[in-house]
Amino acid sequence: MSGWDHLEDFLRYLRVERQLSPHTLRNYRLDLTQFLEFCSEHREGLSLSQVTYQDLRPFLAAALKKNRKTTVARKLSTLRTFFKYLQRQGVASQNPAKLAPSPKLEKVLPHYLSVDETFHLLGEPKNEDFGTRRDLSILEVFYSGGLRLSELAGLNCKDVDLAQGVLRVWGKGSKERLAFLGQPAKGALTAYLPLRQRHLEQHRTGDETALFINSRGRRLSTRGVARVVAKWVRLAGLSPGLTPHGLRHSFATHLLEGKADLRAVQELLGHASISTTGRYTHLNLDYLMEEYDKAHPRSK
């Protein structure tokens, strides 16, 4: 059985057993395809059962020359998961990727908006046409619900409950959670949905299920959503470094500045670990010191 056959079996396992998202599966395929091609070119005839840490080092070194440290760390994580799977299948006797040290990553958090900047972005004068109403809904839902890019692009109409003001969101690992809609987000969706329906009626091959659709009536892709955010950030004269994740970051930051409980923010963001949510407290030193002064018996 060739390494390529093992790759397909591994991807099938990730899709069926672990139910990973298409985006994550694409990354696994890309990373492992590059690894197998590298082995074919530099270590022809090498079996996966024979791969050692010494065989991985040139691949990781070459990857580090072409990619950011975060990308190389992802590739190393992919290899660790792949060889762990091969161990369980009895193909490999060891996991050589476990011996490789992860690149030391800089702790870089995404750009975020102040409350005033957020209101400026969402308050830009907008027309009543389909595209503008859709774009405003996207911005409002991002900020109101704190969604990831893939979560927003994957929303279906049935996931929206305007009466209750909630969204059913499918996060990482196909985990379901509820996100909330404020009044502005509900109003934006209420104005957008009739225009969406009218737009679909003009495109018989459109996607009836997708909440956010493109000019052809198909589901708006993650790249399309990112373009929408970039467009309105530019028109609002804000930092061009703001990404869709920056709106999610702004959501978490503003909640914590408003003294929301860290555990509650963790649930709203869909973080598996509280330490991941804790990164968002980096900017609010005054708030943290205030909480310390209130709670610590020796703070005075």
Query: DSSP state, 160?
Result: E
Strands (E), 183-246: none
Is 203 an active-site residue? no
Query: DSSP state, 166?
Result: E
145 has a pLDDT exceeding 80: yes
Would you state the pLDDT for residue 85?
Answer: 92
Helix or strand (DSSP H, E) at 184: helix 183-201
Would you state the pLDDT for residue 225?
Answer: 95
Name the residue among 167, 161, 115 with its Cα closest to residue 141.
167
Would you state the pLDDT for residue 287?
Answer: 58
Catalytic residue, candidates 112, 143, 192, 280: 280
Catalytic residue, candidates 6, 75, 199, 271: 271
Catalytic residue, candidates 148, 186, 249, 254: 148
Residues 167-172, mean pLDDT to the nearest whole number: 84
Domain 3-99 has CATH 2.60.40.1730: no
Is 6 an active-site residue? no
| Rounded-to-integer distance, Cα 26 and Cα 39, Å | 20
Catalytic residue, candidates 172, 203, 218, 219: 172
Name the residue among 19, 31, 46 with its Cα closest to residue 80.
31
**Residue 178: band (very low, low, confident or very high) from pLDDT cuts 50, 70, 90:** confident
Is 282 an active-site residue? no
Q: What percent of the chain has pLDDT over 70?
A: 89
What Cα–Cα distance (Å) separates residue 239 from each residue in 57, 84, 220, 232, 263? 39, 42, 24, 11, 30
Residues 80-92, mean pLDDT to the nearest whole number: 91
Catalytic residue, candidates 75, 134, 245, 254: 245
Asked whether the whole model's pTM tops 0.85, one would answer no
Catalytic residue, candidates 196, 248, 249, 254: 248
Residues 6+ apart with CB under 8 A from 112: 242, 246, 249, 250, 253, 283
| Rounded-to-integer distance, Cα 218 and Cα 238, Å | 29
**Residue 298: band (very low, low, confident or very high) from pLDDT cuts 50, 70, 90:** low
Would you state the pLDDT for residue 34?
Answer: 92
Is 148 an active-site residue? yes
Would you state the pLDDT for residue 51?
Answer: 86
Domain 115-291 has CATH 1.10.620.20: no
Domain ranges of the chain: 3-99, 115-291
pLDDT in tens, 119-142: 999 986 678 899 999 999 999 999
pLDDT in tens, 256-294: 888 777 788 888 887 777 766 666 665 555 555 666 677
Tell me which of 164-178, 219-233, 259-273 is least confident. Answer: 259-273
Is 12 an active-site residue? no
Is 279 an active-site residue? no
Burial bucket for residue 139 (CB in 10 Å: 0-12, 13-18, 19+): buried
